[in-house]
Chain A
Amino acid sequence: MSEHSALVASMSSHARELQKLSGPGVDSWKNRRHLLDTKDLSTDELQTLVRAATICKEMMHSGEGPQPLLTSRTIANLFYENSTRTRSSFELAAKRLGATVINLDIASSSVAKGETIVDTGRTLAAMAVDAFVQRHNCSGSAMQIARELGDRVHIINAGDGWNGHPTQALLDYFTMLEVRGSVKGAKIAIVGDITHSRVARSNMWLLTKMGADVHIAGPPTLVPPELSSLGVTVHNKLEPAIEGASFIIVLRLQLERQKQGLIPSIGEYRRVYRMDHARLKLAAEGAKVMHPGPMNRDLEITHALADDAEKSLVLTQVGNGVAVRMAVLYLLLAR
């Protein structure tokens, strides 16, 4: 038995299923080097991603160990901004596929010494790292690093400033599809601080592309100008946005927004925008509430609603995050 066939024989049926995926979407993923945002993903690629994530989710819950799908690959988690949950989600995803993972919390090391993100990237690329999972507080930093080093490494954007967080949008989309087979024509509300939200932007690109009717609500001081040019309907108050909605994505409110004078007080925010069971009654029958986390309980969402297993998808999102990130890593990095 050759080494290769030995490896295949050791794989689970799910892993083999993943390898057998085919179709135009699979080919586009093979030709793709980076995942910078949902903006440039084709519908074929999205369908393939969902199929792959479905298999990855079964892998996760089958009790099987790491599969030798990315054993030759090294992935660096480059987090210039703290994020325990996104980083551990990516780390788990990579390890379940057999990849080597290194974690770099750079906020405290080389940047403090004056090294640029391009320098840090070059250093890691020189160590033959295959892919960067990068989180940075500046919009456009993922595109920038892809422009500088994209011929040597694959870039996966794990959040760049206010611009994009594609894997969060993909896991939100995957979670929605588990509830109802398609988002086409579904009313989906995104509520809260839109201006500073990469989650909102990546979701708007993805959900409008897939035919959802996306409605936005947030304090006018936290909704960026000309937002409707992205193909969404913008409301000031919460109620018209969630009325008849199938999904409500509640965004985290950063407490510093009050200090910046963007909202008068937390109490006022609660009064107008906090999601609770009473407001949820305005939404469609069986509507679900989602949140990218971490939640400010009783600020943007009530304690009771956040923990209502029937109405809240928050923990499902977290679990699906690992499956979706496995799918992304596999589709981008499998040889």
Chain B
Amino acid sequence: MSDKILIKSGLILDPATNTEQRSDIRIAGGEIVERGSELNANAEEQVIDADGSWISCGFIDIHTHLRDLGQKDKEDIHTGTKAAAAGGFTTVVSMANTDPVIDNGMTFSMYLQKIAERAVIEVLPVAAVTKGLAGQELTNMVELSEMGAIAFSDDGKPIQNMTVLRRALEYARLTGKLIISHAEDLDLSEGGSMHECALSTELGLQGITYASETVAVARELEIVRLTQAPYHFTHISCASSLDLIRRAKVEGLPVTVDVTPHHLALTAEEVAEYNTNAKMNPPLRSGRDRSELINAIKDGTITAIGTDHAPHTKLEKSRPFVEAPFGITGLETAFSVVYEALVVQNYISILELIKLLTIGPARILDLPVPSLHMGSPANLCIIDPRIQWTYESAKGQSKSTNSPWDHKKLHGKVTCTIYKGQIVYRSEPISV
């Protein structure tokens, strides 16, 4: 594959400078080597016509489950990163609740080796906060951090004991790394399978009260106040949690928040026919929660979108609703879903959306701020906002198909993704 690429006539969206500029981009040696109008193609260059399309830095997903290891039937690092590339992502943060859990140096080095062998984009792995995600003993955080853990999280099995969380936040100072919280009080949510509301009553399903999230956010914020350690709340779903976090940020606590595309686009009504592809944790909430999530994006409380891409097999998702596992895939549909929910619906501008997918997560994770200037690594995606397409999960890159957008019409599409100067995704031409 040629590593010399010329992208012609795209509109470059740069949220760092808040500008949109029509420009050609020349890529060689994995970097952006030239920008300008009317650049002429060299003989060995592959030319991509991006007329009418947007060009953005590659997206960063702050919350992905790539599975692999003992769960290759759901996803592996190759298919997961291919799915990410198809969604415009050039970096994903992979969660530690793999099988086995990434909670020790040996498993971590094995995972790093799999990443080196199989990933088509950058994977930044998270390590567990506690051994076995059991919420009791801390992992060797210094060792894991030195080996390359981007952050620490017990996502999927949140820490319930606040003394353990306190120690984790104190000890994490040795690493300078962030702790990512899946905020959930497991006693309050026990047995639940969807948002607690009139519909859960109607369907005869045990609900998950908003309080299971907000109670956890409240007590965790007090531990952040106590330790003053940086802390990130992932996949926040409730208006009442946002109220608390907003106040904490005003107060100056070092907390940040991301939200998923599905919580921005869908509500609990999606469950109505026991649709297991609308079952995830935290669950889809009320219409009011959804509007408050959008408001929290507008007022800057939420600064990143994370997919919580959580592949599960068809067999698992064909169990009855109560027994089916939580989680949906999301990498391949993320941009189109949030573009429709936020930009087409006129809540925010396209530049503000791109920020949530690039600079926002980069700042939370303390990564270099991505850019498309000369000399920058050539990590970018090309988006055609004119394309209306139907998502067919079976034809996608992920091994799993558990998406609520399967067979649904979506608006705007990533057509090409380039990572370190290599094309890692290119869609079949679709007539506009």
Binding site for B on A (CB under 8 A): 116-118, 136, 138-141, 143-144, 147-148, 160-164, 198, 201, 224-227, 229-230
Contact = CB atoms under 8 A, between A and B. Distances in A.
A140 B203 contact: yes
28 contacts: A116-B315, A117-B320, A138-B321, A138-B323, A139-B203, A139-B204, A139-B274, A140-B204, A140-B205, A140-B320, A140-B321, A144-B320, A144-B321, A160-B204, A163-B203, A163-B205, A198-B204, A201-B202, A224-B201, A225-B196, A225-B197, A225-B200, A226-B201, A227-B201, A229-B201, A230-B198, A230-B201, A230-B202
B198 A226 contact: yes
A164 B205 CA distance: 11
B318 interface: yes
Interface in B299-325: 315, 318-323
Given A138-B323, A148-B318, 7 more contacts: A117-B320, A139-B320, A140-B320, A162-B204, A163-B203, A225-B207, A230-B198
Contacts of B318: 116, 118, 148
Contacts, number: 67
B44 interface: no
B319 A161 contact: no
Contact of B321 (A139, A198, A225, A230): A139
A224 B200 contact: yes
B201 A161 contact: no
A163 B322 CA distance: 12
A60 B323 CA distance: 40
B188 to A, nearest CB: 13
B251 interface: no
A201 B198 CA distance: 13
A162 B198 contact: no
A226 B197 CA distance: 7
B310 to A, nearest CB: 20
B146 interface: no
B274 A201 contact: no
Contacts of A161: 204-205, 320, 322
B38 interface: no
Contacts of B117: none
Contact of A138 (B197, B202, B315, B322): B322
Contacts of B196: 225
Interface in B315-364: 315, 318-323
B204 A201 contact: yes
Contacts of A116: 315, 318-319
B4 to A, nearest CB: 51
Contacts of A141: 320
Interface string B193-220: 0001110111111110000000000000
B317 to A, nearest CB: 11
A208 B273 CA distance: 22
B289 to A, nearest CB: 15
A136 B315 CA distance: 18
Contacts of B274: 139-140, 143-144
A114 B288 CA distance: 40
Contacts of A164: 204
